[in-house]
Amino acid sequence: MLTRNAIPQPHSEYLQHAGLFRGLALSVLDEVAQLARQRSSQNDAFFFHQGDPATTLYVLIQGRVRIVQVTPEGQQVILRIISPGEMFGGIAALGEASYPASAQALEASVALAWDGETVARLMEEYPRIALNALRLLAGRYQEMQDRYRELATERVERRVARALLRLLRQTGRKVENGVLIDFPLSREDLAELTGTTLYTVSRILSGWEKAGLIETGRQRVLIRIPHKLVVIAEDLPPG
């Protein structure tokens, strides 16, 4: 049996919603939670940097984290926004490797963290964790392939619409006038998510705002008519 440390019981209940631990019994989740340590990060601080040795796997339990990569040309690209219940730093489970991107808190955030050796031992004792990790990593790989295809073949307007819809599915909160993307989101963030310029994103958002599709404020985006964004994202005929 693996050695335990003192992690509060509510965390083990929370892990039921994390894809990495899907299908595990509550007694196992309790053991997994006891083996974790808690990591906190303030707004704009980093859990790890691109190129650091990949030593730790994380599951976010509070806040938002963005996964950011700097290309060889020096361009910063946001690969993914991490929401509570999601894994990041999963490459640590594969052993000798470096983080291919940085993990930066978008707001005050808390994660449970397991070192690579502990993850390897858990996977040996509970093969379900290894299977879940492979599925999650395969899903991330497919997502990246889709993103590269979008960058190579799709109009910028479609890419921006798709990015907003992804964020809406992850963090959307229904409000009186539509669905609010419920974390700070700047136009520069959207430019980095879609591989385009701040000028282009500003022009597109301003056009959509004039048409009544969205409403923007200081680092906030309210989607007023989501189905019209779907029409743009999927290049459907206007209806």
d(CA 150, CA 159): 7
Question: pLDDT truncated to tens, each residue of the chain (239 aa)?
Answer: 433 444 444 566 678 778 888 889 988 998 898 899 999 998 889 999 999 999 999 999 999 999 998 888 788 888 888 988 888 988 877 766 899 999 999 989 999 999 988 988 998 999 998 888 888 878 777 777 776 666 666 688 988 998 899 888 888 889 988 999 877 888 998 998 888 889 999 999 999 999 999 998 877 899 999 999 999 988 776 65
Domains of the chain: 2-144 (2.60.120.10), 154-233 (1.10.10.10)
What is the model's pTM? 0.76
d(CA 50, CA 48): 7
d(CA 23, CA 13): 13
Looking at the DSSP assignment, which residues form a beta bridge with residue 113? 37, 58
For the chain, count helices (H), then strands (E): 8, 12
